[in-house]
Amino acid sequence: MIIPELRPIERVARISGSDLHYWVYGEDRVGGTVLMVHGLRGTHHGLELVAAGLPDHRVVIPDLPGYGDSGPMTGRRHDVAGYAHAITELVEQLDGRDGPVALVGHSFGSIVAAHLTSQVPELVRRLVLINPIATPALRGPRVVLSGLTSAYYRLGKRLPPRAGHSLLSNRWVVLAASRAMTRTKNKELRSFIDANHLRHFSRFHSPALLSETFEASVTHTVTDYADALKVPTLLIAGEQDEIAPLAGQRALAARLPDAELVVIPGVGHLVHYETPAPAAEAIRRFLGEP
């Protein structure tokens, strides 16, 4: 597959004790700022293909505190509220030349983005949720698998740090998770996704921090904040997403006062990897571009 050449500017912001690294794509673009929030165990790399499809916008993508190149926070939990606070600070530290941002969140990032928007709606002009978590993991169709995964993360936390990190970053477990979320039959694309997960999926600060974030990811959903979401909202769902089932997306869209649901066929929970071009096209249209 052809990977677009991206030359973002890397910057660092001091936020809640974290040296938070973020990348700016298209600093001089005039289409407004789009800020993207990655999912659990992700880094900014996972959203780059979607960013590449927004050539008229300045796109900002951080590594959440405790993941990728960003250090952990001090004095705050690494959960939905903690991350929402960190992203709020980041938005406030950007130059503000474009006014409120268009906020994009994938998976766990969708919960963070929804929480932020519910708390400080004046900072967000439009909200985009990719593979949004609308069905409670511990009460949804994958409750058994979610319970087993929770036990796995708890074990990793209880082990000595080095052993716990080794368990949680086991190559075969990472590959199994990658394949479970992938629907494409294109071998080249599947290999690309696997390679990215092997390279970035285990870049977490500690088993304890990862466990804290995982527990937040399975005990919260976007629906927790649905009644407070008044800004125009775009939901981009994968037709075959088992982590964020389509029925939950439809129910969430129906609850929001100004929402649009776009369903991408033949894809699961990795819209940002498998079908980034259709996702970016939907975002461009939603942001008012032809």
Render pLDDT for 114-134 as a digit per residue (tens, 0 to 9).
999 999 999 999 999 999 999
Cα–Cα distance, 80 to 114 (Å, whole number): 10
At residue 37, does pLDDT exceed 70? yes
Pairing status of strand 233-238 against strand 124-130: parallel
Average pLDDT over residues 252-277: 96
pLDDT at 180: 86
Provide the token pair at 1. Answer: 């597959």
Task: Band the pLDDT of 151: cuts 50, 70, 90.
Answer: confident
Cα–Cα distance, 264 to 123 (Å, whole number): 28
Domain ranges across the chain: 9-136+220-286
Lowest mean pLDDT among 83-97, 115-129, 141-155, 159-173: 141-155
pLDDT at 4: 66
Lowest mean pLDDT among 26-40, 93-107, 117-131: 93-107
Mean of all residue pLDDT scores within the chain: 91
At residue 39, does pLDDT exceed 90? yes
At residue 237, does pLDDT exceed 50? yes
The arrangement of strands across the sheet holding 101-106 comes to: 9-15, 18-25, 58-62, 33-37, 101-106, 124-130, 233-238, 259-264
pLDDT tens column, 2-24: 566 778 999 999 999 999 999 99
HEC-encoded secondary structure of 106-133: ECHHHHHHHHHHHHCHHHEEEEEEECCC
Percent of the chain with pLDDT over 90: 77
At residue 139, does pLDDT exceed 70? no
pLDDT at 67: 98
At residue 1, does pLDDT exceed 60? no
The dotted CATH code for 9-136+220-286 is: 3.40.50.1820
130 near 107, Cβ under 8 Å?
yes
Which of 243, 229, 272, 215 is CA-nearest to residue 119? 229
pLDDT at 290: 47
Pairing status of strand 33-37 against strand 58-62: parallel
At residue 137, does pLDDT exceed 80? no
pLDDT at 133: 95
